[in-house]
Structure 1
Amino acid sequence: MSDTMQRTATIAVLVENEAGILARVVGLFSGRGYNIDSLTVAPVDEERRLSRITVVTSGTEMVIEQIKAQLDRLVPVHKVSDLTREGPHLSRELALIKVVGAGDARIEALRLAEAFRARVVDATTESFVFEMTGNADKLDAFIALMRPLGLAEVCRTGAVAIVRGPRGLHA
């Protein structure tokens, strides 16, 4: 890969679940001018007090390597893994999408939701809220189709990702 080619990286970071660690990770990115496209964090091992942070970012290969090295040096980081480089992985987001409309637009929104496997989780006579999971491209496509039909609001979780197969992210 060329030194100037940009790539997207999904990085999983296993950390001790303690106050301030997320702020330190975000500070590492902002202090160096790196962008975060998506960020999720949640406890994954209560017994060992571990949380998993999933960061989607982009940059040149050199920048991605710098990010990983700097994350790995943070205490209390246990493991840093570039899922996009470790082989096939699954990535999913959750979105809530509110569409306001009536008549044909409303019928079309429901038809498209069925095609995209979005679930209606709230409905009024004037609006729907759809719940949808999938990769970012699928969510982006559905949201783009909802714009002319009365898209009113979007909430997204950010990506969570896991390597396919038997390997796992272990401390």
Structure 2
Amino acid sequence: MRSLEQVLKDGIRDIPDYPQPGVVFKDITPLLADHGGFAQVVEVLADSGRDDDGRPVVDKVVGIEARGFILAAPVALSLGAGFVPVRKKGKLPAATYEESYALEYGEATIEVHQDAFTPGERVLVIDDVLATGGTVEACLRLIRRCGAEVVSTTVLIELSFLPGRERLSEEQVTALVTV
């Protein structure tokens, strides 16, 4: 079996100047197309929702739109937990809570269903990239607003040249790879 480091190296490619000039997009589609590599990554992500004996310690796994969905749903299945999508404003059909946050190039709003969590539920947050931390921070506010407890946040890729980890300094954050 390949090492996790090799799986990530093989599965994440840089796309320069996408979606705009000066940005280097981290494309994970090669990883997603690699069954063995994707399965390995899902299990490593799921480890953030387990105790030292390998037992699940979370009730729900949150995926942040859009690539976070792809990663979080199989993690939830692996942990025997429910999956909760956190979506862009206007995409969820029932009553929602919303949080707005600043982006490098504007503002955005994310939402979660008001009944997505039972108070006291333990939650693992999964996303693809930690950049400035704004999206994750807003997501954590939503979860806590519902009365749930955030156990950990785990991301596939952390961009160390942006202040995401600093912004989330009070949180338990794990990244599989830091660039």
TM-score (norm 1): 0.25
Q: Greater relative contact order (Cα 8 A, min sep 6): structure 1 or 2?
A: 1
Higher strand share: 1
TM-score (norm 2): 0.25
